[in-house]
C-alpha cells in the first residue's frame, strides 16, 4: 500500500515568512517517510511553488492544489500547515482547502480567523470565564488619542498589532510619553492595534493538541526574557531563558493546563496550538494572552521543546497531527 501524500505549506505574505521557512525545515526533517510522502509547498507573493529536494520549483495548480512532477500529476491527501501569519494562520488557506475538501492539520477557517484577531480572542475567552487583561481595541485613523487610552487603562501597557504574531511591532509602554510612538510602531504593521494592561507574573506557555479524540496538554514552558518582554529577539535570537518543563507547583500547573484545555474546547481548536498565559500570583490565576494556531516549529521554538519533554519524538508528534487531520 502506497504512502499518503502530504503537502507541507510554508512561506506566506507577511514578515513572519522567515519563521515559516525555519518551521518547515524542522517539520520536513522529522516527517516519517515510512508513512507519508511529504512535498514542500512555498506560498509566496510571487506565486505558489513546489520545491523539490534539489531546489527545483514547479508551479502549483490552484484549481485543485495539485503539482506536476516528471510529467505526473500529484494531488494531496492532506495538508500540514507550517505557515505563520497570513494566509496560513488567519483562515484564508483553511477556507480554500475546505472548498477543495482537502483535510489539514490546523484549526478551521472560523477559529483561525477569530484567534488571529487578538482582541476578539480575549473577548471570547472572557465570555467563557477565562481570565484576561483589560484592553482597548483601536483602529487606524479612528481618532483615538493616547490621552484617551490612558484614561481607560493603567500603565504599564503593551501595545501590539491586533493581527499577526512573532511579536512584530510590539512595545511595552511604562510612561505616557512613550505611548504615541508605540502606537505608530504597531499601526505600521496592522490597521488594528490592541493596547493591553500589563499583568505582573510568571510567563507560561503551553502547547495543546488533540490525538485520538483526547485533548492533550504538553509540558509547559516558563519564559524569562532578558529583554523587557518576550519580543522577536527574545523569541528567535536567544534573548530569553526558556525552562521546559516549567518549575511550578502542581497546583499552578493544573490551573494552567485546565485553562488551556478549556480554551482549546471553547475555541473549537484543531491540531497543535500554543496558548500564552501570565500566572498572576496574588490572584492565583492564569491570565490568557493569546492563542497561536500555527505555533513555531523551528529548532528554537517552544512546541518542539515541549514535545520532547513529554517523551515523544517529533516524528511521532507530526504523524499524530496528520492522522488526526483525517479524523
d(CA 293, CA 270): 8
Question: Structural domain boundaries of the chain?
Answer: 4-105, 135-197
10 Å CB burial of residue 311 (0-12, 13-18, 19+) is exposed
Helix (H) or strand (E) holding 48: strand 47-51
CA distances from 251 to 128, 223, 321 (A): 21, 19, 29
pLDDT per residue as tens, the chain (327 positions)? 689 999 999 999 998 899 999 999 999 999 999 999 999 999 999 999 998 888 889 999 999 999 999 889 999 999 999 999 999 999 999 999 999 999 999 999 999 999 999 999 999 999 999 999 999 999 998 989 999 999 999 999 999 998 865 467 899 999 999 999 999 999 998 899 999 999 999 999 999 999 998 999 999 999 997 756 544 444 445 567 899 999 999 999 999 999 999 999 999 999 999 999 999 999 999 999 999 999 999 878 999 999 999 999 999 999 999 999 998
The predicted pLDDT at position 55 comes to: 81
pLDDT at residue 276, as a whole number: 96
pLDDT of residue 168: 75
Task: Encode 49-86: b = buried (16+ Cβ within 10 Å), e = exposed.
Answer: bbbeeeeeeeebeeeebebeeeeeeeebbbbbbbbbbb
Strand runs (DSSP E) across 82-132, as ranges? none
CATH fold, domain 135-197, is Dna Ligase; domain 1 (3.30.1490)
CA distance 39 to 5: 8
What pLDDT shows up at residue 54?
Answer: 83
266-294 burial by CB neighbour count: b if 16+ within 10 A, else e?
Answer: ebebbbbbbbbbbbbeeeebbbbbbbbbb
Give the pLDDT of residue 235: 47
Write out pLDDT tens, residues 256-300.
Answer: 999 999 999 999 999 999 999 999 999 999 999 999 999 999 878
- Rounded to whole angstroms, the Cα distance separating 182 from 195 reads 10
Angstrom distance (rounded) from CA 133 to CA 147: 20
pLDDT at 230: 47
User: What was the pLDDT predicted at 128?
Assistant: 97
Q: Are 82 and 19 in contact (CB under 8 A)?
A: no
- Fold (CATH) for 4-105: Rossmann fold (3.40.50)
Beta bridge partners of 66: 61
* CA–CA separation, 272 and 197 (whole Å): 28
Amino acid at each position: 500500500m502506497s504512502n499518503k501524500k502530504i503537502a507541507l505549506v510554508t512561506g506566506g505574505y507577511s514578515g513572519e515568512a522567515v519563521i515559516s521557512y525555519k518551521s518547515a525545515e524542522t517539520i520536513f526533517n522529522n516527517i516519517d517517510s515510512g508513512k507519508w510522502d511529504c512535498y514542500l509547498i512555498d506560498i509566496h507573493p510571487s506565486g505558489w511553488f513546489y520545491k523539490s529536494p534539489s531546489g527545483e520549483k514547479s508551479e502549483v495548480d490552484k484549481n485543485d492544489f495539485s503539482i506536476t512532477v516528471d510529467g505526473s500529476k500529484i494531488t494531496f491527501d492532506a495538508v500540514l500547515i507550517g505557515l505563520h501569519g497570513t494566509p496560513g494562520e488567519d483562515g484564508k488557506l483553511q477556507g480554500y482547502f475546505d472548498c477543495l475538501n482537502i483535510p489539514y492539520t490546523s484549526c478551521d477557517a472560523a477559529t483561525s480567523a477569530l484567534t488571529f484577531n487578538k482582541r476578539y480572542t480575549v473577548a471570547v475567552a472572557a465570555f467563557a470565564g477565562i481570565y484576561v487583561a483589560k484592553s482597548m481595541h483601536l483602529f487606524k485613523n479612528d481618532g483615538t488619542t493616547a490621552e484617551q487610552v490612558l484614561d481607560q487603562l493603567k500603565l504599564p501597557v503593551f501595545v501590539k498589532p491586533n493581527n499577526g504574531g512573532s511579536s512584530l511591532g510590539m512595545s511595552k509602554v511604562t510612561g505616557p510619553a512613550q505611548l504615541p510612538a508605540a502606537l505608530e510602531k504597531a499601526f505600521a504593521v496592522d490597521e488594528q492595534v490592541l493596547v493591553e494592561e500589563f499583568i505582573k507574573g510568571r510567563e507560561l506557555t503551553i502547547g495543546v493538541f488533540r490525538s485520538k479524540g483526547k485533548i492533550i496538554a504538553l509540558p509547559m514552558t516558563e519564559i524569562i526574557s532578558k529583554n523587557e518582554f518576550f519580543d522577536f529577539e527574545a523569541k528567535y535570537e536567544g534573548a530569553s531563558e526558556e525552562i521546559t518543563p516549567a518549575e511550578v507547583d502542581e497546583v499552578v500547573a493544573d490551573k494552567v493546563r485546565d485553562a488551556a484545555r478549556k480554551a482549546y474546547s471553547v475555541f473549537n481548536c484543531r491540531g497543535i496550538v500554543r496558548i500564552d498565559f501570565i500566572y498572576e500570583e496574588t490572584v492565583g490565576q492564569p491570565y490568557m494572552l493569546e492563542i497561536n494556531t500555527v505555533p513555531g516549529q523551528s529548532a528554537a521554538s517552544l512546541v518542539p521543546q515541549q514535545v520532547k519533554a513529554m517523551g515523544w519524538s517529533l516524528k511521532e508528534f507530526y504523524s499524530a497531527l496528520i492522522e488526526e487531520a483525517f479524523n
